[in-house]
Amino acid sequence: MTDNSGPIPVKDLRGRVTLGLYAKGSKSEREAVFVDTEKGQFILRRKSGPAFADATLNGFVGQTVECDGFLVGTTLLAEHIRLVQ
């Protein structure tokens, strides 16, 4: 699901948060936080957080979360992130 026609609202999108390389082998290569969902893998960003090195997101690595926000291309721009027990 990487339609670039515009933001797609999502509610309660569930997935596991992982850490990995983005754009491996390119000059844009960097470590990024991802969320692996049934809809695919997305870079996870907080709407109110920094674009890179977000310490808050690093705290979710290895956890299952539910997110509300928007899918924008390959990015999930989260307005709310909740841990799932």
Identify the CATH number of the domain in which residue 75 sits: 2.40.50
Q: Does residue 1 fall inside a structural domain?
A: no
Q: How many domains does the chain have?
A: 1
pLDDT tens column, 18-63:
999 988 889 988 899 999 999 999 999 999 998 888 999 999 999 9
Q: What is the Cα–Cα distance from 70 to 82, expressed in whole angstroms?
A: 15
- Check residue 23 and give its pLDDT: 83
Instruction: Enter the pTM of the model.
Output: 0.86
β-strand partners of 18: 34
Q: Does residue 2 fall inside a structural domain?
A: no
Q: Does residue 3 fall inside a structural domain?
A: no
Q: Does residue 47 fall inside a structural domain?
A: yes
Domain range for 55 is: 8-83
